[in-house]
């Protein structure tokens, strides 16, 4: 569809319409729609510099600058727009609109200020989206290289003897209500017992950062954050050196709060290249001799029940991973259950099903801190420890590493 582009064409449309010619007639003569003609008319009005055009009752009227000056003079003398309009045969509203456009045009014609010239403006670019996507990918590749993302871990212990694995969690080292001497005793036992290993399953230090919780939580800590980091780092180092540590796991107090408040996870830094670190739920294929056990571990699992303290692990078994052992911390009260599930699968030769053990870890934060006892109850010390056999699919669960150690000692004496 054609358009009116030239000044001459606009002038012609304006003049013909002012002379009373209909839109239809003008449009037909140019071979365009009425809409295009009307738009051209609007442009014609805007371009005029010798007056203002207004339409009233379908009649286009040209208000020249001379007339408009006269109207302004009459207003100054006290006449109303309606009275002036009556003498021209138009409404006061039409005159008001014409005067507004007239004044706008006059303002535009006033001398303008110098245009600013920003001589050293470093103008940002519109960067191509392809370049931005490639840049994001490069950054992701780099992050993968420096950030632990372990979701599944295979651990092989080359042995023909049963081993014990302690599921420690919620040590809360440095807390004002943590039993630090009990932690010391347990860690020494783990270090001194042959064939016994440790896994760390979150909240390994107290980690009350100013601003995260009540100010009093910071005030009551028995160790500063710096001392808590140092203590944990020392545990990591010694257990790694003694080849006792199988993995380290995120917790709320040590990993999550630091991610939330400072954007950096200090547990990742503490365990960096020392021991595999899980920043979320993880599966572990624990190979003891020739036997493989599947473990599903997380600091916290959803689905607490006041009637069944292992409900969360049972739910994870049903909905997530039908592993041999399901473990989580966070709840501060140890609980262990075992039962048989999908035993047919194992009978059929699959390495799946049979005895499953649900493990809820305990804590060393035994209180009486108000933050536990106002709404819950005091935490219970407990590091559930499981024995895994090589050569046959066989596990035993103990409340604590001391009893597991007695079992291992009994086994080694029997063999000797
Ligand atoms: Fe905890």
The values of phi and psi at residue 291, to 5°, are -100, 135
- Looking at residue 113, what is its pLDDT? 82
56, 245, 302, 396 from 350: Cα distances, Å:
91, 29, 28, 21
Residues 109, 33: Cα–Cα separation, whole Å: 34
CB-based contacts of 358, cutoff 8 Å, min separation 6? 310, 313, 314, 317, 326, 335, 336, 337, 338
Residues 62, 109: Cα–Cα separation, whole Å: 20
Neighbour-count burial of 200, counting CB atoms closer than 10 A to its CB (0-12 exposed, 13-18 middle, 19+ buried): buried
Average pLDDT over residues 225-233: 96
Which residue would you say has higher pLDDT here, 368 or 401?
401
Between the CA of 87 and the centroid of ligand 1 the distance, in Å, is 90
pLDDT at 2 over 60: no
- Looking at residue 290, what is its pLDDT? 94
Yes or no: say if 315 and 322 are a contact pair by the CB < 8 Å rule.
Answer: no
Between the CA of 175 and the centroid of ligand 1 the distance, in Å, is 11
The b/e string for 328-366 (b: 16+ C-beta within 10 A; e otherwise) is bbbbbbbbbbbeebeeeeeeeeeebbbbbbbbbbbbbbb
Task: Give the model confidence (pLDDT) of 127-157 as tens digits.
Answer: 999 999 999 999 999 999 999 999 999 999 9
Between the CA of 22 and the centroid of ligand 1 the distance, in Å, is 85
pLDDT band at 1 (very low <50, low <70, confident <90, very high): very low
The b/e string for 54-85 (b: 16+ C-beta within 10 A; e otherwise) is bebeeebbbbeeebbeebeeeeeeeeebeebb
Between the CA of 400 and the centroid of ligand 1 the distance, in Å, is 18
Between the CA of 327 and the centroid of ligand 1 the distance, in Å, is 14
Q: Which of 29-33, 236-240, 272-276, 282-286 has the lowest mean pLDDT?
A: 29-33
Domains and CATH numbers, the chain: 7-109 (1.10.10), 148-415 (3.60.21.10)
- Looking at residue 46, what is its pLDDT? 66
Between the CA of 192 and the centroid of ligand 1 the distance, in Å, is 26
User: How many of the other CB atoms lie within 10 Å of CB of 114?
Assistant: 5
Between the CA of 191 and the centroid of ligand 1 the distance, in Å, is 23
Between the CA of 160 and the centroid of ligand 1 the distance, in Å, is 35
Bridge partners of 296, per DSSP, are 283, 326
Between the CA of 253 and the centroid of ligand 1 the distance, in Å, is 7
DSSP secondary structure code for residue 342 in this structure: S
- To the nearest whole number, what is the mean pLDDT of the chain? 92
Task: Give the model confidence (pLDDT) of 10-62 as tens digits.
Answer: 778 878 888 888 888 888 888 888 888 877 777 777 667 778 888 777 777 88
User: How many of the other CB atoms lie within 10 Å of CB of 215?
Assistant: 10
Question: Based on C-alpha coordinates, what's the Rg of the chain?
Answer: 41
- Looking at residue 53, what is its pLDDT? 81
Average pLDDT over residues 222-242: 97
Q: How many percent of the chain have pLDDT more than 70?
A: 98
Between the CA of 286 and the centroid of ligand 1 the distance, in Å, is 25
- Looking at residue 258, what is its pLDDT? 95
- Looking at residue 59, what is its pLDDT? 75
pLDDT at 329 over 70: yes
Shortest CA distance to 72 belongs to which of 49, 106, 28? 106
Between the CA of 172 and the centroid of ligand 1 the distance, in Å, is 7
Between the CA of 331 and the centroid of ligand 1 the distance, in Å, is 7
pTM exceeding the 0.85 threshold for the entire prediction: no
pLDDT at 327 over 80: yes
Average pLDDT over residues 217-228: 94
Task: Give the model confidence (pLDDT) of 81-114 as tens digits.
Answer: 999 999 988 999 989 988 998 888 788 777 778 8
């Amino acid at each position: 569809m054609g358009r009116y582009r030239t000044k001459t064409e606009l002038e012609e449309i304006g003049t013909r319409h002012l002379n009373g010619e209909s839109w239809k007639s003008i449009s037909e003569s140019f071979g365009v729609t009425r809409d295009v003609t009307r738009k051209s008319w609007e442009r014609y009005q805007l371009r005029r510099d010798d007056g203002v055009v207004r339409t009233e009752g379908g009649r286009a009227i040209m208000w020249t600058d001379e007339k408009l000056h006269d109207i302004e003079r009459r207003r100054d003398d006290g006449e109303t727009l309606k009275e002036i309009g009556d003498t021209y045969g138009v409404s006061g509203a039409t005159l008001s609109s014409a005067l507004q456009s007239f004044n706008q045009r006059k303002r535009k014609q006033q001398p303008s200020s110098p245009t600013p010239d920003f001589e050293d403006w470093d103008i940002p670019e519109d960067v191509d989206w392809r370049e931005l996507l490639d840049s994001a990918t490069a950054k992701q590749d780099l992050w993968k290289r420096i950030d632990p993302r372990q979701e599944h871990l295979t651990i092989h212990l080359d042995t023909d003897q049963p081993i014990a694995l302690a599921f420690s969690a919620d040590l809360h080292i440095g807390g004002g209500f943590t039993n630090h001497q009990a932690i010391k005793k347990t860690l020494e036992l783990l270090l001194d017992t042959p064939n016994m290993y440790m896994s760390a399953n979150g909240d390994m230090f107290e980690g009350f950062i100013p601003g995260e919780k009540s100010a009093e939580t910071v005030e009551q800590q028995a160790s500063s954050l710096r001392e808590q980091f140092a203590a944990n780092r020392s545990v990591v180092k010694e257990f790694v050196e003694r080849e006792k540590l199988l993995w380290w796991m995120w917790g709320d107090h040590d990993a999550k709060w630091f991610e939330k408040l400072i954007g950096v996870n200090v547990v990742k830094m503490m365990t960096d290249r020392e021991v595999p670190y899980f920043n979320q739920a993880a599966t572990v294929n624990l190979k003891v001799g020739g036997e493989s056990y599947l473990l599903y571990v997380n600091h916290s699992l959803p689905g607490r029940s006041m009637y069944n303290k292992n409900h969360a692990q049972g739910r994870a078994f049903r909905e997530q991973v039908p592993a041999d052992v399901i473990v989580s911390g966070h709840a501060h009260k140890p609980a262990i259950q075992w039962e048989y599930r999908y035993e047919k699968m194992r009978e059929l030769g699959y390495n799946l099903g049979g005895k499953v053990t649900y493990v809820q870890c305990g804590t060393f934060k035994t209180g009486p801190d108000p933050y536990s006892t106002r709404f819950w109850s005091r935490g219970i010390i407990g590091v559930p420890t499981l024995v895994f056999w090589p050569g046959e699919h066989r596990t035993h669960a103990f409340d604590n590493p001391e009893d597991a150690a007695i079992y291992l000692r009994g086994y080694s004496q029997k063999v000797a």
